[in-house]
Amino acid sequence: MDGLKLKLETKEGINMLAILIDCIKRRQVEYERRTVTRFGTLLDPRFKKEGFLSPQSVSEATKLLENDITLLNKNVHPANANTEPPTPTESPGHNQPLLQFLKRNIAKKIRTDRVDSILSLRNYYDSPNLHEDCNPLEYWHGLSDKESLKSCCKRILCIPATSVESERIFSKAGIVVSDKRASLKSSNVDKIIFMSKNNW
């Protein structure tokens, strides 16, 4: 739309284009404040952080996603929360080998769920963005080393962008539960609607 500015000749057209651009920016900022659309943009390997209009929205979204992945890591690995790092064992033939302090310091490092989520997100952000024609679902399906990010994607990217499908199901439910079939059990209604919507 910015490219159209040079093609317009009338003052009314230029004013209308400015109004349209302003409305689009305002609407996009609202979407950037919603958690699901934030996560969806960050977890889409075509966009990542570059898909945001506002830098403040990027920082808020990355912090929220980091918290969400940390919670997923805690649920997946609850035993890792209070475990102590293993103490280094010294070999019996050596008293204090050179760089023993290095082994001791590495053993003292504690990997927490938050550190794991920060590292996995940093690796994901540093990888190159996918081409715009690529399918993000295929990208996440092929990854096995980013399990916490992958499980977060399963929750976020399965949310439909519109409410059309749910409205169709409500409409179908109105047809199934008619005046002549008002005494159907709810479990039977669920099964009938499920079968009719998934008969493909």
Q: What percent of the chain has pLDDT over 90?
A: 8
pLDDT at 138: 84
140-157 residue pLDDT tens: 887 766 677 888 888 888
> Is residue 79 exposed (0-12), middle (13-18) or buried (19+ Cβ within 10 Å)?
exposed
Fill in the amino acid letter for 49: K
- What's the chain's average pLDDT? 81
Q: What percent of the chain has pLDDT over 70?
A: 84
Q: Provide the residue ranges of all domains of the chain, joining segments of one domain with +.
A: 1-32, 36-87+99-159, 164-200
Least confidently predicted of 21-35, 43-57, 117-131: 21-35
| Residue 88 CB partners (closer than 8 Å, separation 6+) | 100, 103, 104, 107
pLDDT at 52: 86
pLDDT at 81: 47
Report d(CA 140, CA 149) in Å as an integer: 9
| Selection from 131, 32, 41 nearest residue 139 by Cα | 131
Cα–Cα distance list, 47 to 6, 62, 177 (Å): 28, 13, 44
What's the rounded mean pLDDT across residues 69-83? 68
